[in-house]
Amino acid sequence: MASESRLYRWFNRRGWSDIVLAAPYVWLLVFFLIPFLIVVGMSVATRTPTAPPFGYGGENPLLNFEGYHRLFTDDLYIRAFVTSLVNAAVAMVLCLAIGYPMALGLTKVDTGWRNILLMLVILPFWTSFLLRVYAWMGLMGKNSWFNNLLTGGWNWLVPQDWAVTSIPMMYSNFAVVLVMVYTYLPFMILPLYANLERLDPTLDEAAMDLGTKPFGVFWDVTLPQSIPGIIAGGMLVFIPAAGELVIPTLVGDASSPMIGRVISDEFSQARDWPMASAVAVVLLVLMVGPTMLYSHYQARAVGADDPK
Amino acid sequence: MPKDAAPPPLIRVENVSKSFGTFQAVKNVSLTIDKGEIFALLGGSGCGKTTLLRMLAGFEETTGGKIFIDGQDMTGVPPWERPVHMMFQSYALFPHMTVEKNVGYGLKHEPMTAAQRQDRVREMLDLVQLTPFATRKPHQISGGQRQRVALARALARQPKLLLLDEPLAALDKKLREHTQFELMSIQERTGVTFIVVTHDQEEAMTLADRIAVMDRGEVKQIGPPGDVYEFPNSRFVAGFIGSITALEAVVEAIDGVRTRLAVPALGGPVQARSVAGLSVGQTVTVAIRPEKLAISRAPQTGDNVFEGEVKDLAYFGKDSLYRITMPSGALISVHAVNARRSAEGERVVDWYDKVWLSFDPTSAIILTA
C-alpha cells in the first residue's frame, strides 16, 4: 500500500493526473470544437468560384446568413430534415421492437449460449459495412430470390387483381429504413442487454410472490427499470441514423433525400460549402438534445451512478 | 368434529423431495406447522432449507411428495396464486418505486378501493414505524429500514404464511438483536405464521417456537429450541447447535434410569441418564455441553469426577472457556461463569492448574446416531 500511495503522490506531484484528466478535453477541443467552429465560420461565408470556394466580405456582407435563410424557406431542406428525422425515428422504434425481445432473451439463456449469441449479434461488424449494404441491394433488387419470394407470398395472399410481377423495394424510404434497422440493430441490443442483464431476478420473483403474473411482472418491474437502456439504445440508433449518408445514397429515393445526402451533395456537387455548412450546423443543433439524453441515460444503463 | 380436537395444521409437508439433475437437494421431508407458529429451518449452506422454502413459495416444483397449505394441495399452484408471501434475503425491494408503492404493490390484486388500499399501506407503515419515509426510494433509506419495508410489503396482503429467508443476515449485530424482538412482536400482533430460514442457531433459538435442523436435504430433528439443544437425537444435531464435547463410550451396565459407560478418553466410568434401546457392550457417543461441567481446583470425589490440567483459557469477561487436557490426552471444553471478581494473575483457575471436572448424570447425553 505504501508504495502504491508513493506512486500516486509522484503521479500527482508531477501533474500527471492533470494531464490525464485534460486528455479528453484536449481531444474534444482539437477534434470537435475547433472543426465545429470552422464549419460555423464557413456557414456564414459567401460562395465564390475560387478555391476554396468561399470567402468573406468583398461585395457581399461580411457575414452572410443566406444559407440559413434558404434552409428555412426552401422546402427541399425542410423536407430533407423531416425525412431524416422520420426515417431515423421509425428505424429506432423498429430496432426497439426487434431488439428488446432479443436483449431480454439474451439475459434468460445460460452463460455458454449467451456468449455465442452475443458474438452472433456483433458478428456482422466483421464484414465491411459497404459490402453488407450492397448485399441488401442485391436482395431487394427486382429479380432476386428474396424479392421473388416476397412477391410470391404477396400474390398468394391477396386477390388476383392486386398481383404484381415484383415488389418495388429499392430506392425508397422503405429500403433506407430496412437497411438502417439491419445496420443499427446491435447498437440497440447491446446497451439494452447491458441494462437488462444487471436487473436482479429476485425482483421478478418478489413481484410474482405478491400476486403478479409473469406478463404483469414484465410491465411492473422489468420495463420501468430498463428505461435507461431503452433511451440509451434509442439514441444510439437515432443520432447516427438521422445523419446517415451511405445508406440513403445507395438504396434511398433521390427525389426525397435525407439530410446527410443533402450535405454531401451541396459540398461535392453544388460546391456550395456555406450552404452545406449551414445544414450541418442545424443538424448538429437538432441532435444536441438527443445526445444529452443519451449520455445521461447511458451512464445509468451501465450503472455508473447505481443507486445501490 | 369433537370439540377438543386440535385444529388441523396450517402447513403439511408430506414426503417432499427435490432433485436438480442427479443432485438431491431435499430428501423425503415431512413436517407440519401450526397456525400462528414461528418455525425455523436451521442448517448450514446447501442443506436444502432454502430449496424447501422456495417450494413452499412456489418458485420450485416438488419432484416428489406434496405440500398442503390450509388443507389445499399446492401442487401446480403458481407463486402468484399462493396465500404465501416471502421476505427475501436481499429484500428485493423495487428500486423504481417509493417505500409506499413497494408496500402497496401486492394490494393492487386485492378487491379494494383506492382509499382502502391507502389505509392498509398506512397501517403497515405504522406497524414497522416507517411512516415518515413513505415517499423515499429504497436507496434513500438504511439497511434496517429496507428490511422493515420488505416485511411490511410481505404482510400487507395478510398472507396465511410468511416465509423469511435469512431475515437478519444482512443486518449488523446490534440491529439484529433489536430486530429479532421486533419480528417476534410483529408476529404476535398479526398472528401470521412465520417460517424462518436461517443458518444462525442463535437466531433460530430466540425467534422460533420450533426448529427443524436440516442436513444434506434431510430433517434431522424437529422440536422446541430447548428440546433440540438439551436432547439432541444425533451427533450432527448435538454438534450443530451449540458446542459440545463428544466422546466414544461403551455401555457397561444399565440400571433403570442410570447407565454406566466406560469412557476411555476420561479414564473412568461415566454415569448417565439411560435412553431407550441400549444394550450392554454397545458402542455409543457420550456428549456433554461445556456449560454443564463444573470446574474446581479443590479435589472432588464421587461419580462423574475427573482430573485434568488447564491447557487453554479464553477470558470473555462475564465467562471463560477452558480447555482441559485429560490424562488420556483428550481435550474437554468447559464454559464457566466468572462469578467472582479477580485481577489478572489471581484467577481462581489459571493456566496449567490441576483441576477437577464434575457433572450431573442427567447432563451427559447418550447418542446412538
Nearest-by-Cβ selection for B88 from A202, A213, A221: A202
Residues of chain A contacting residue B90, judged by C-beta atoms under 8 Å apart: 200, 202
Residues of chain B contacting residue A203, judged by C-beta atoms under 8 Å apart: 92, 94-95
Looking at residue A304, what is its pLDDT? 43
Closest CA to B72 of B62, B60, B63, B81: B81
Closest CA to B174 of B143, B153, B201, B205: B143
CB burial class (10 A; 0-12, 13-18, 19+) of residue B47?
A: buried
User: What dihedral do alpha carbons A150, A155, A158, A160 form, nearest 10°?
Assistant: 160
Closest CA to B167 of B240, B58, B85: B85
- A270 pLDDT exceeds 90? no
The residue among B50, B60, B85, B96 with the most chain A CBs within 10 A of its CB, best to mutate, is B96
- B222 pLDDT exceeds 90? yes
Tell me whether residues B57 and A209 touch, CB distance under 8 A. yes
Tell me whether residues A206 and B59 touch, CB distance under 8 A. no
Residues of chain A contacting residue B157, judged by C-beta atoms under 8 Å apart: 210-211
Residues of chain A contacting residue B139, judged by C-beta atoms under 8 Å apart: 307-308
pLDDT in tens, B137-180: 999 999 889 999 999 999 999 899 999 999 888 888 888 888 88
How many beta-carbon contacts under 8 Å exist across A and B?
Answer: 63
pLDDT band at A306 (very low <50, low <70, confident <90, very high): very low
Residues of chain B contacting residue A206, judged by C-beta atoms under 8 Å apart: 86, 88, 92-94
Cβ atoms A226, A192 nearer than 8 A: yes
Residues in A lying within 8 Å of B, measured between beta carbons? 200, 202-203, 205-213, 220-221, 224-225, 307-308
Tell me whether residues A205 and B79 touch, CB distance under 8 A. yes
Tell me whether residues B88 and A205 touch, CB distance under 8 A. yes
Q: Are strands B64-69 and B11-20 parallel, antiparallel or unpaired?
A: antiparallel
Exposure on the CB side of residue A248, measured as CA atoms within 13 A: 27
Residues of chain A contacting residue B77, judged by C-beta atoms under 8 Å apart: none
The grid coordinates listed for B204 are 433460530
Q: What is the CA radius of gyration of chain B?
A: 25
Nearest-by-Cβ selection for B109 from A211, A221, A307: A211
Which segments of B58-113 does DSSP mark as H helices, in order? 99-104
Nearest residue in A to B143, CA atom: A308
Looking at residue B135, what is its pLDDT? 93
Over residues B226-255, mean pLDDT:
91
CB crowding B187-207: b at 16 or more within 10 Å, else e? beebebbbbbbbbbbebbbbb
- The answer to whether B85 faces chain A, any CB pair under 8 Å, is yes
The grid coordinates listed for A50 are 475560387
CB burial class (10 A; 0-12, 13-18, 19+) of residue A255?
A: exposed
Over residues A37-65, mean pLDDT:
84
> DSSP assignment, residue B265?
T
Q: Could you say which residues from 106 to 135 on chain B have a Cβ atom under 8 Å away from some Cβ of chain A?
A: 106, 109
Nearest-by-Cβ selection for A206 from B88, B109, B157: B88
- B23 pLDDT exceeds 70? yes
Instruction: Identify the helix (H) or strand (E) that includes residue B327.
Output: none
Over residues B69-79, mean pLDDT:
92
- The answer to whether B142 faces chain A, any CB pair under 8 Å, is no
The shortest C-alpha distance from A106 to chain B (Å) reads 22
- The answer to whether B157 faces chain A, any CB pair under 8 Å, is yes
pLDDT band at B1 (very low <50, low <70, confident <90, very high): very low
Cβ atoms A45, A273 nearer than 8 A: yes
The shortest C-alpha distance from B221 to chain A (Å) reads 29
Residues 6+ apart with CB under 8 A from A174: none
pLDDT band at A4 (very low <50, low <70, confident <90, very high): low
Cβ atoms B41, B80 nearer than 8 A: no
- Give the number of other CB atoms < 10 A from CB of residue B9: 17
pLDDT band at A3 (very low <50, low <70, confident <90, very high): low
The grid coordinates listed for A293 are 439524453
Looking at residue A301, what is its pLDDT? 62
The grid coordinates listed for B329 are 490426552
- The answer to whether B59 faces chain A, any CB pair under 8 Å, is yes
The shortest C-alpha distance from A289 to chain B (Å) reads 25
pLDDT in tens, B189-214: 888 999 999 999 888 998 999 999 99
Looking at residue A2, what is its pLDDT? 52
Q: Which amino acid is at A179?
A: V
- Identical fold for domains B11-239 and B243-367, yes or no, is no
Exposure on the CB side of residue B111, measured as CA atoms within 13 A: 0
What 3 state SS string does A236-289 have? HHHHHHHCCCHHHHHHCCCCCCCHHHHHHHHHHCCCCHHHHHHHHHHHHHHHHH
Query: Which percentage of chain B shows pLDDT scores above 90?
Result: 66
Lowest mean pLDDT among A56-60, A102-106, B41-45: A56-60
Tell me whether residues B106 and A210 touch, CB distance under 8 A. yes
- A292 pLDDT exceeds 90? no
What 3 state SS string does B151-201 have? HHHHHHCCCCEEEEECCCCCCCHHHHHHHHHHHHHHHHHHCCEEEEEECCH
Helix (H, G, I), strand (E, B) or coil at A9: helix
Tell me whether residues A208 and B105 touch, CB distance under 8 A. no
Q: Which amino acid is at B126?
A: D
- B249 pLDDT exceeds 90? yes
Nearest-by-Cβ selection for A208 from B79, B90, B154: B79
Looking at residue B211, what is its pLDDT? 96
DSSP characters over A135-174: HHHHHHSTTSHHHHHHHHHHHHHS-GGG--SS---SSSHH
Please name the fold of domain A76-301. Answer: MetI-like fold (1.10.3720)
Query: Which percentage of chain A shows pLDDT scores above 90?
Result: 55
Domain with CATH 1.10.3720.10 in chain A: 76-301
Cα–Cα dist A128/B49, whole Å = 55
Lowest mean pLDDT among A230-234, A292-296, B129-133, B260-264: A292-296
The residue among A198, A203, A204, A210 with the most chain B CBs within 10 A of its CB, best to mutate, is A210
> DSSP assignment, residue A221?
I
Cα–Cα dist A36/A28, whole Å = 10
Tell me whether residues A208 and B78 touch, CB distance under 8 A. yes
- The full set of domain ranges for chain B reads 11-239, 243-367
> DSSP assignment, residue B362?
G
pLDDT in tens, A98-143: 999 999 999 999 989 999 999 999 999 899 999 999 999 999 988 8
Helix (H, G, I), strand (E, B) or coil at B12: strand
Which residue in the block uniquely carries the three cell numbers 487453554?
B312
Looking at residue A217, what is its pLDDT? 95
Cβ atoms B318, B337 nearer than 8 A: yes
- Give the number of other CB atoms < 10 A from CB of residue B92: 26
Lowest mean pLDDT among A133-137, B113-117, B172-176, B183-187: B172-176
Cα–Cα dist A209/A222, whole Å = 15
pLDDT band at A303 (very low <50, low <70, confident <90, very high): low
The shortest C-alpha distance from B122 to chain A (Å) reads 18
Cα–Cα dist B13/B18, whole Å = 13
Cα dist. A168→A20, A148, A178 in Å? 54, 11, 13
Please name the fold of domain B243-367. Answer: OB fold (Dihydrolipoamide Acetyltransferase, E2P) (2.40.50)
- The answer to whether B96 faces chain A, any CB pair under 8 Å, is yes
Over residues B248-265, mean pLDDT:
90
Residues 6+ apart with CB under 8 A from B163: B53, B56, B57, B84, B85, B86, B87, B195, B197
Which residue in the block uniquely carries the three cell numbers 396482503?
B157
Nearest-by-Cβ selection for B139 from A209, A225, A308: A308
User: What's the order of all strands across the beta sheet hosting B294-296?
Assistant: B294-296, B354-358, B305-315, B319-325, B331-337
CATH code of the region B11-239: 3.40.50.300
Cα–Cα dist B143/B150, whole Å = 11
Q: What does the mean pLDDT of chain A come to? A: 88
Cα–Cα dist B41/A295, whole Å = 48
